[in-house]
Every structure is written in C-alpha cells, then in structure tokens.
Structure 1
Amino acid sequence: MRYREATRKLARLGCYEDTKWRRGSHRKWINPHTGRSARLPDWGSDDLRIGTLRSVIRQLGLDWREFNEA
C-alpha cells in the first residue's frame, strides 16, 4: 500500500496530519479520538512495508480490520 492510499484511509477514520511537524520523509498523524500520534514514512510511490503500516495503526489506537475496511 502506498503512502497516499494509507493517508486516505486514515483520514476516513478521522485521523489528520500534523502539518507543523515534518522530519525528512516522515509525517506525524494524530487520532483525535484517542489522542495518540504516530510517524508515518512518506516514501512517495514506493509501497509501505506491512509491518511498518501495522505498527502505525497500532500506535494510533486503530484496529487493522477497521483500517482495511475504510
């Protein structure tokens, strides 16, 4: 799954990107429902690794199935 596709799913679930925080190729995403945040790598057209994506989803307090259905 590419960065853009993952961010669309996160946005559908109510998460948003903290535009004030950027470090190189990583973006900070916040889940306002849980107050948790995670750094998601923006690798452009390259696919995100499944372990990285699952870790970000876990850090945001989301469920993997919920993310896939979004």
Structure 2
Amino acid sequence: MPKLPVVSGAEAVRALERLGFAVARQRGSHIVLRRGSSGCVVPNHRERKTGMLSGILKQAGVSADEFMEALARSLLRPMNHDSALVNSP
C-alpha cells in the first residue's frame, strides 16, 4: 500500500471524480459524493491528514493505489466540467 499524501478537499474530490464519483450535495464544508450505491463524505478543508484520507477511501471502497493514480491524473490534467458547453455548436 503506498503512503498517502496530504491533499486538500478539492484535490481529493477531483481524484474521486476521476474514479466515477459525482458530487451529490454539499452542506457547509462537507461534500457528499456518490458512485452507484456507494458514497463518501469529504471535508472541504485545505489539507487533511493521511488518517482522514484513509477513512474516506475506505468509506468509498477505493484502494490507495486507485486513488493515487487518479490523483496523479487529476493534478496533471484537471477535469473541465464546461467542456460540453465549449464544444457545442
């Protein structure tokens, strides 16, 4: 199991979106993500310790390896949520 990095809430959400999760709702600083019947809650703080991230991944049913790959992809190429609007005629 790779050592988990210290990441912000926004970085964690972007990586989980790469893995097929979608933001279901947000209340205050807590973002609820869903993928099918599984889901997780990500506190939207600047940085979270690896223990918190480990709990989020366990709740989401995502391995540390999967998350690390998605995190690397999301940091290299952030998802553009408006790409459909930009490319539409």
Query: Given the two structures, how large is their TM-score scaled by the length of structure 2?
Result: 0.65
Which stretch shows the higher mean deviation, 22-31 or 54-63?
A: 22-31
Structure 2 residue runs of 5 or longer lacking an equivalent are 1-6, 71-89
Determine whether 1:51 maps to 2:51: yes
What value does the CA root-mean-square deviation take over the aligned residues? 1.2
**Superposed displacement of residue 38, structure 1:** 1.5
Moved over 6 A (4+): none
Of 26, 30, 34, which aligns to 2:30?
Answer: 26
Q: Is the 8 A contact 2:57 2:63 kept in 1?
A: yes
Aligned length: 64
Structure 1: gaps spanning 5 or more residues? none
Q: Which amino acid aligns with 1:27?
A: I
Structure in which a larger fraction of residues adopt helix: 2
Q: Distance in 2 between matches of 1:68 and 1:53?
A: 11
**8 Å CA contact retained: 2:12, 2:42:** no
Q: Percent identity?
A: 31
Q: Specify which structure has the higher proportion of strand.
A: 1
Structure with higher Rg: it is: 2
TM-score, with length taken from structure 1: 0.80
Task: Work out the CA distance in 2 between the residues paired with 1:24 and 1:4.
Answer: 14
Give 2:18's match in structure 1, choosing from 12, 25, 42.
Answer: 12
